[in-house]
Chains A and B, each alone.
Chain A
Amino acid sequence: MQDPEERTKRQTSRRNFLGQALTAAGTAIAAPTLIHQATSAQNMNTTQTPAPGEMAVTLTVNGKPRSLTLEPRVTLLDALREQLGLVGSKKGCDHGQCGACTVLIDGERVYSCLALAVMQEGKAITTVEGLANGDVLHPVQDAFIDNDGFQCGYCTPGQVCASVALLDEIKRGCASAITPDLTRAPQLADLSEAEIKERLSGNLCRCSAYNGIVAAVQQAAGQQPPAPAAAMLLTEPAEVLV
């Protein structure tokens, strides 16, 4: 998924935390980068000849280079879904409001509906399709199944990717808006339900499988989550109740 060296390079700091908040807040700050990327993309020698108004780009998705031509207005989400056939990342709102399109870019969670595809060259994009190792699921994916962390499944890829990123952020010592002490970030073992909920509130679930999702993160963090099933008052087919 991610180079361990790269991971250690990113320091635990308040600045890092603020930087993430900005990334989540919007793409406006990235406009100069867009122009730069577009120029460099046009200068590149690619095998495909872009049609007028289109650009050739190579995206690195789940470890594989994928070359495509697209208009600069195409979002990463639409490029994944409509051009690369990677429909695991979901379009829920197309406005950065629901989180169903969450992917990892260089290990950080990003709403792919707010990211332009042409800006992503040279970055490592991981979608939900790239989390498992062959037939072996990522521990977060297993935990979602065990704890019934989904119902219809449409927000699930975003919830799973966000949860993977969340656990990594904890390991890196990132604070959240409700972390009481910014000098002492929570550890996986004492990560509270409130912290998990705060850190996942950018991912909406209309089926409201929230209890199961929080339990899945607890399990993946090495904690013991509450059992997902309901209590049964009557376990024997006998006339216990009248």
Chain B
Amino acid sequence: MSNVIGTSVSRTEGRAKVTGSATYSAEHQISGLVHGYLITASVANGQIRAIDTREAEKAPGVIAVFTHKNAPKVFMPKNDFMNSKIYEARLPLSDNQVHYAGQIIGLVVADTFERARHGAHLVKVEYDTQTPLIDAKKVTFKEAPPQFGEEFAFAKGNIAAGLANAAIKIEATYTSSTELHAPIEPHAIIAHWQGADALTVYEHTQWVAGAQRTYAELFALPAEKVRIVAPYIGGAFGCKAVPWPHAILCAAVARQVKRPLKVVLSRRQMTANAGHRSETEQMLRLAATKDGMLTAIAHEVKSYTSPVDVFIEPCTGITPVMYTVPNLQLKQELAVMNIGTPTFMRAPGENPGLWALESAMDELAWALKMDPVELRLKNETREHQRKGLPFSAKHFADCLNVGAERFGWNDRPMQVRSLTRDGKRVGWGMAAATFPGLRGRASVKVRLLPDGTAHVLTAANDMGTGAYTVVAVTAAEVLGIPVEKIRVEMGDSRLPDGGLAGGSQMTASLAPAVTAACQEVLKTANCTTASEACAALRQSGRGAIEATASSAPGAEMKKWAFQSWGAHFAEVTVDEEIGRLRVTRWVSVMNIGQVINAKAAASQVRGAVIMGIGQALMEEAHLDPNTGYPVVYDLATYHFPAHADTPRIDVAFVGKPDLNFNPIGARGVGEIGITGVSAAIANAVYHATGKRLRSLPLTPDKLIG
């Protein structure tokens, strides 16, 4: 063992990224490549009456134009999230129906990007239109169906009695806005057919093996005839897990035109066609005894989906894990609107769910005249109240106590409008953070070479998480050789299935598989150390020793509930004259079990907190209430934090391995950092101003005066 796990290691792919040699999806150099540009609907609800492509077809450089009238054949995949998954269940160009503004209605192929774009603008479309369903107040809600096999509705105890008999009650409705993932790399794909029955797809995907099977099913090919190449992903946050309609269309059209085809979405197209986080409306009722023991929580959630697929923002997932409560009731409702299909976005459910619950807990603390840290410590639950299982390696109390100490929380006056600085109101707020500890099956191949280096190969991926380095550090630890001597290859479906980079599970899935494969390679070599094995290799003249191993969760899932925990402490300033809110100081303490790379893990939390600051202060996508067309459609209209909006984020980890979870004891860290952030800020705003804001984002109009 080289004791490299848990230290601070620079990213192994850093040199490629700072020199511009890291290759992202649209950047693979392929000869004979042609370009596609999407034609998108300018109405939100209707039918295409006529579509005239003649002028486009005659334009210089245009090779072909595809619409629903000549749509290439695609097969519906199983779409069960086990074998395959697509983001939108309606296949592109399947008929003349328009379900939302910006929906893809065609594709122009040309020899250059500029000519394809020009061609797309020459296509004339006539529509029959109906009034779109856009207004959240006018839509019909129905009980949300189960999602990925899990029911939403849940009840324990007697909620009516719990609420009726309480000394203190809080009842409030919290809303969150439609948010865009907005990765800096736009969605992009190059589809390259080798003949009509073998396809190479260069596309960022959070799930390499899943993408391979999905494209295979879309074109009725055996999986081994499809290769996915995704060495680098320019940010994903949930919106690059499986194919969107533009990608399916690109692959289908590439086969038709018999040329490698590249399609890159414009920012405007991404707004409609590449997912978002649904806005939510959450009603919370909390009841407590005079000394602050919770007696009831009722949590009712409304979210929205598109006419062509179902995605429910699962906000009630966090409610049974946070605080002990004898009477609990959960309910989620869903309405269909003429909007694009929402999807997973960083901590789906946990993020808006904790926005509501942690705001309500703060309201309760003020009603009780109790420190909000104390209220949380008092009501901490030792078990998952829905699964009925005890939490493994929790340390939530450590996060709260250490965070309070690092922030200086005990100096906080228990009175609103009590702090000022430079003519501005100052406020301190806190909130809890949580995210489930997920883990999946992963396979890894390790190859030991005579020169003392090792290759680690897996079809996992690194979308900025630090996975390349996590794999290298883990292999270095087990093999006892320096990180610099480990070469990691990922993001290619020809490598062993590395699982899904989603639900913060890649590290938890990969690290045990890397460990197992490294141990296996030593066993194969019949050596106890890598240096011994390499010396034996040199002596024998053999080229390499290889071993492949897999790792998957097992019986421990039935004994324990695995969940990561954290606490955020925030300072804000509010300039009430102009309604300007700034986040000026931040402390986060997280328990994610064993930390593998202290540097990259800290960056994950910092990045997530800053994304949460964006959610709290500015992120909000709007549709025109009459036409349903996005009025927020690019990075000038969709604001997220820039350098000047971000304070330095102080991050600490508990660092104790959760060995019940996996042999490394590591849980994921990609999402927990964003949970609770918006509540901590709104709670700080209340402390600063005495204004309880329950609707995100906390824009100046809500803070002025």
Contacts and interface: CB of A to CB of B under 8 A. Distances in A.
Interface of A: 52-53, 71, 73-74, 78, 81-82, 85-95, 97-98, 100, 127-129, 131-132, 137, 141, 144-146, 148, 150-157, 160, 193-194, 196-198, 200-214, 226-235, 237, 240-241
Nearest to B642: A201
**Residue from the set A52, A160, A196, A231 with the largest chain B CB neighbour count within 10 Å:** A231
Contact of B603 (A100, A137, A212): A212
A97 B266 CA distance: 13
Contact of B113 (A82, A201, A204, A226): A82
Given A87-B27, A154-B234, A198-B644, A208 B611 contact: yes
B655 A233 contact: yes
Interface residues of B, number: 80
A90 B113 contact: no
B234 A148 contact: no
B376 interface: no
25 contacts: A53-B60, A78-B113, A82-B113, A88-B19, A91-B186, A92-B635, A131-B19, A148-B11, A150-B11, A150-B464, A151-B466, A153-B22, A154-B183, A154-B232, A154-B234, A203-B643, A208-B607, A210-B641, A211-B603, A214-B643, A226-B648, A229-B602, A231-B650, A232-B652, A235-B6
Interface of B: 6, 8, 10-11, 13-24, 26-27, 29, 60, 112-114, 181-186, 232-237, 264, 266-267, 395, 398, 402, 463-466, 589, 595, 598-611, 634-636, 640-644, 646, 648-657
A129 B9 CA distance: 24
A58 to B, nearest CB: 20
Contacts of A207: 184, 235, 464, 603, 607
B646 A87 contact: no
Given A85-B29, A213-B643, A151 B465 contact: yes
A145 B469 CA distance: 13
A211 B184 contact: no
B600 A153 contact: no
Contacts of A52: 60
B20 A150 contact: no
B654 A234 contact: yes
Q: DSSP class of B's interface residues: helix, strand, loop or mixed?
A: loop
Contacts of B14: 144-145, 150
B349 to A, nearest CB: 21
> Ordered nearest first, which 7 A-B pairs have the shortest CB separation?
A88-B20, A152-B464, A154-B234, A153-B17, A151-B464, A208-B610, A230-B602
A209 B603 contact: yes
A112 to B, nearest CB: 13
Nearest to B236: A152
A233 B653 contact: yes
Contacts of B648: 193, 211, 214, 226
Given A74-B114, A88-B19, A210-B610, A95 B235 contact: no
Contacts of A209: 603, 606-607
